Amino acid sequence: MGWAGASRRPRARVPTRPTASRLRHRLRRPHRGGRGRQRLHPRQSGARHPHGLRRRGGHRSRDLRTRAVRAARAAFPRPARARAVPHARVRDRGLDGGLRGRDVLLRRLRIHADAARAVRAVGGRRVAAHRGAPCGHGARCEGANVSARMSVIVPAHDEAHVLAVNLARMTSGIPRDALQFVVVANGCSDDTAEIARAAGVDVVELATGSKIAALNAGDAAARYAARAYVDADVRVSGETLLALAELLTHSDGPLVASPRFTVDTRFSSLFVRAHYRVWEHTDYRRSGHIGSGVYALSARGRMRFDRFPEVIADDRYVQQLFSPAERALLPGHSFEVPAPRTLRAQIRRATRIQRGNDELAERFPELRSESVVSRAGGLLGRIARRPQLWPAVPVYLVGTVGPRLRAATARGPQAWNRDETSRR
């Protein structure tokens, strides 16, 4: 028989692997020519369940055990569960946002809303001690420990450019009777006093410009024994001042305290930022110094001296009156001081600070003072371990040694001197 008429023998079929979909649905591919019907997947319509019950509508059929359980539940229904006693829901938005994790505990303990408002919130935020407690600037209180009272004295000399914003930051969201703000406008030629009156604070006006006279006049107008002294150009919140008052009113609390001091160098030149990069590692910075813009005294701490003496560095004078064990940094809070914008302005500012330190060493030698040699040795060791600070060391030396030389050669009394570049 020729090739054209020859019958083709069927080729043996090579078994192939089942596809992924067949594996997923566990379908068994029947052998070609095998007997019986093709097996269907149990989930397919018309398939027979292994227990012999026919599936309908594509849903899983119930076996005998399931049907028996359902019949038993129908014959012996469960008793209805008692509804939980509804608890008072706290409707204060400030409380709901501030309690966070404690809110869950308060709700589980079924504490009434009025009682829950007396609980301190997380992160320094506090709940009003009573419903509708009045706060400054017409705001509703987010926190009110009315037992903590303190007078905040703000000496201001031609500070109209920054006073309104800083006062609003200090007085917003705090109880009206917890803090007393006294702005002492001394020797002002602008509308500093009018801005302070518009903020709703107490105002004392002096004809001459003197920070020490302003501090003493503020003490005379203060109503509370605990005092805080805040420069008009620093940025500190009312929450931080209230936390200071609470810290100083404790019987075992410190005598003098201050928030952490931070410097804003965003608008400063490259040289000023390099200077403060090294300054962050000095002993004076790392030892938790008190002052430099904001410091507060308890009632016992304020009794340590009568009136502020005529000195340049009032903050350093107060710091050296107390031992390190009597000082404290307020944890979790800080205040900000704008840095000078130019290196020349930084040198003038450091010269005034150095003259104030020299004056204290000359007039009050009994006050505590740190060794300059030990501070320099500690700084050199920290810089040696940080090569990224080495390029900034020459700038720091110019900003540190230069003011000391200028202060040593200066003559005459120190007039009112401040940095104008940081107030732009």
253 vs 420: which has the higher pLDDT? 253
The residue ranking higher by pLDDT, 378 or 189, is 189
396 in any annotated domain: no
Of 248 and 370, the one with more pLDDT: 248
Confidence at residue 410, expressed as pLDDT on a 0 to 100 scale: 77
Give the pLDDT of residue 148.
78
Q: Check residue 150 and give its pLDDT.
A: 95
> Between the CA atoms of 178, 183, 184 and 186, what dihedral angle is there, to the nearest 10 degrees?
170
138 occurs within a structural domain? no
Mean pLDDT of 258-263: 92
Identify whether 114 is part of a domain: yes
Does the residue 192 lie in any domain?
A: no
Looking at per-residue pLDDT, the higher value among 52 and 161 belongs to 161
DSSP 43-56: TSTTPBPTTSPBP-
Asked if residue 379 lies in contact with residue 282, where contact means CB atoms within 8 angstroms, the answer is yes
Token pair recorded at residue 342: 């130019």
Per-residue confidence (pLDDT) for residue 65, from 0 to 100: 64
Is residue 318 packed enough to be buried (19+ CB in 10 Å), middle (13-18) or exposed (0-12)?
buried
Which pLDDT belongs to residue 378?
Answer: 81
End-to-end Cα separation, the chain, in angstroms: 111
Which pLDDT does position 424 carry in this prediction? 63
**CA–CA distance, 237 with 235 (Å, rounded to integer):** 7
Question: What are the pLDDT digits (tens) for 123-150?
Answer: 333 333 333 334 544 443 444 445 679 9
- CA–CA dist 42, 251 (Å, integer): 78
Range of the domain at 100: 93-124
The two beta strands, 294-297 and 256-264, are antiparallel
pLDDT band at 366 (very low <50, low <70, confident <90, very high): confident
pLDDT for 297: 96
- pLDDT of 66 above 90: no
Distance CA 369, CA 372 (A): 9
pLDDT band for position 202 (50/70/90)? very high
* Region of poorest pLDDT, from 246-260, 322-336, 368-382: 368-382
Dihedral angle, C-alpha 236, 238, 241, 247, nearest 10 °:
-130
Please check whether residue 176 lies inside any domain of the structure: no
Q: How many domains does the chain have?
A: 1
| Whole-Å CA distances, 235 to 160, 209, 247, 248, 319 | 15, 22, 20, 21, 21
Average pLDDT over residues 230-244: 94
The residue type at 158: D
Average pLDDT of span 95-106 = 42
Cβ distance 371 to 316 under 8 Å?
A: no
Is-contact 321 367, C-beta < 8 A?
Answer: yes
Q: How many residues make up the chain in this entry?
A: 424
* pLDDT reported for residue 84: 43
- Which is higher by pLDDT, 268 or 21? 268
Three-state secondary-structure class, residue 183: strand
Q: Mean per-residue pLDDT for 34-59?
A: 50
The residue-averaged pLDDT of 173-196 equals 92
Please, what is the Cα angle at 416 between 411 and 422, to 5 degrees? 115
Q: What is the pLDDT of residue 251?
A: 82
Instruction: Give the type of residue at 93.
Output: R
Given a cut of 90, whether residue 341 has pLDDT beyond it is: yes
The mean pLDDT of 25-29, rounded to a whole number, is 48
In the block, residue with structure tokens 């052998």: 31
Q: Is the model's pLDDT at 245 over the cut of 70?
A: yes
Q: Any alpha helices (H) in 364-416, and if so which ranges?
A: 372-384, 393-409
Segment 276-335, tens digit of pLDDT:
999 988 887 776 667 789 999 999 999 999 999 999 999 999 989 999 899 999 989 999
Average of per-residue pLDDT across 178-184 = 95
List the beta bridge partners of residue 335: 261
Cα diameter, the chain = 134
Of 216, 226, 186, 227, the closest CA to residue 308 belongs to: 216
Residue 195, Cβ neighbours under 10 Å: how many?
22
The whole-number average pLDDT for the span 146-155 is: 87
Residue 106 in any domain: the answer is: yes
Return the ∠ at Cα 138 (arms to 136 and 144), rounded to 5°: 50
Report the chain's C-alpha Rg in angstroms. 38
- 112 lies in some domain: yes
Bigger pLDDT: 159 vs 411:
159
Query: Does 100 map to a domain?
Result: yes
